[in-house]
Amino acid sequence: MKAAIIGYGEQGRSSLEYWQKKGYEITVCDQNPQIEVPPGVSTQVGVTYLHDLSDFDLIVRSPSVHPSVLYDALQDHQEAKEKITSNTNEFFNVCPAPIIGVTGTKGKGTTSTLIAKILEKSGKKVHLGGNIGTPPLDLLKQAISPDDIVVLELANFQLIDMKSSPKIAVCLMITEEHLDWHNNFFEYIDSKRQIFKHQDHDNIAIYNANNVYSTEIASSSRAHNKISYDVPAEDKAPENTEGVYLDGHHIKFGEHKVCSTKDIKLPGRHNIENVCAAIAATWDLIGHNKHAVKKVLKNFTGLPHRLEKVAEINDVTFIDDSFGTNPATAIVALRSFRQPKIIIVGGSEKGISYQPLVDEIVKQNVKHVVAIGETGPAILELLKNAPGGNIITHTSLNATKTMDEIISSATEKATNGDVILLSTASASFDMFKDYKDRGDQFKVAVKRLAQQ
């Protein structure tokens, strides 16, 4: 049997190892002609990497490759349906334990981690993976048993051609994202829909009652048990009180008081939503153990590059939110701090409108905007034309500038009590390897500044 691994990133390498052990003759297909594969593995690289796919019995799609690319290469759509699979699809086929899957535009990693930690604190054996780090098939190396629980962070790239859904499916907030990869926003939403679409009656569907897209796609689930979570705007009462909801300073599940917002160390109202989603997913599994929930919340301060406090220098706070790669996440970041803010925005283009971000910048206590990279000039142009935008000072730095120069530009405008916020609302690939590299360079530059 012959298998083609399409795309040789982390999940491609995981897929190679898995299907090689199953006895398949493997060919790795990748646009990059410089890939390095293990000895004895064939390659098909460069512009011809998708040639003659019909010669293979199995085609394993990596998340970076849009399914339509493979359908176009095969032409016969029935053949494509029969042959194409993925690391995640195969894991759902063979995993012996129940799976909790989490998707949404942002918050997936934080919510998945909270779910795993709450379950572990209650004595469960948990396996955490997916988009958050460990490829699903690599989790099998951990000797998963039927009594364990698997928690997967599932991005649109993995969900788009899923043939199964998790036993407990969680959908967080959905906003415009990855429109450079999807044909349109509707396709992006539909990719998220797959987390619910294949559920059975005895499964559980959890959705964000404050987000119209999350609510709508949850209706695709056949699960009888649909649980909403509701974090209303400040000073407003929750509309959905059967599921998990914020009531004043208390998070409740129905009539049960689970915890207080004072227990949560994560900054920002959006993280209250993430906590509510995690409670909805775990509450019955942990036997309503509110003490386990509180212990986790009091000790979990978040994942790297997500509103991460880097340092406080001369009473100026530096925040790394490099993971925020779209306007919606930058808006959330702005709302998380009441202090005067200097925000660093811009990066590589993703086909998304920046008008909502500019509108929020004008509303929020923003004193200066440092615009960087490809999208920086467009954001500044919108700011100049926005009502009230002309009173906010700004600096424009092109993609050749270093992080030290970016930090220097921000600190020149900072005074005591300010927040310098790296939340670019853009991807990073015009100036950095990825969002992690951008955030790491920000941290290094801030530490250098502290030593001066």
Mean pLDDT of the chain: 97
Q: What is the pLDDT of residue 333?
A: 96
Q: What residues contact residue 237 under an 8 Å CB cut-off, 6+ apart?
A: 247
- Which segments within 138-223 are labelled E, that is strand? 149-153, 168-171, 204-208
List, for residues 190-231, the tens digit of each pLDDT value: 999 999 999 999 999 999 999 999 999 999 999 999 999 999
Q: What is the pLDDT of residue 389?
A: 87
Query: What are 292's two structure tokens?
Result: 């386990």
Which numeric CATH code is attached to 2-86? 3.40.50.720
What are the backbone dihedrals phi and psi of residue 356, each rounded to the nearest 5 degrees, phi first?
-60, -35
pLDDT band at 235; cut points 50, 70, 90: confident
pLDDT higher than threshold 90 for residue 399 = no
Domain extent listing, the chain: 2-86, 95-299, 308-451
Which numeric CATH code is attached to 308-451? 3.90.190.20
List, for residues 172-195, the tens digit of each pLDDT value: 999 999 999 999 999 999 999 999
- Chain centroid to CA 342: 25
What average pLDDT does this structure show over 316-333?
Answer: 96
pLDDT band at 34; cut points 50, 70, 90: very high
Q: What residues contact residue 373 under an 8 Å CB cut-off, 6+ apart?
A: 346, 347, 348, 398, 399, 424, 426, 430, 431
What average pLDDT does this structure show over 231-247?
Answer: 93
Q: Give the three-state DSSP class for 352.
A: coil
Strand order through the sheet with 225-230: 126-130, 149-153, 99-103, 168-171, 204-208, 225-230, 244-247, 250-253, 256-260
Fold of 95-299: UDP-N-acetylmuramoyl-L-alanine:D-glutamate ligase (3.40.1190)
Q: Look at residues 103, 80, 116 and name the one whose alpha carbon lies nearest to residue 221.
A: 103
Q: What residues contact residue 200 under an 8 Å CB cut-off, 6+ apart?
A: 222, 223
pTM for the structure as a whole: 0.93
Residues 23, 345: Cα–Cα separation, whole Å: 49
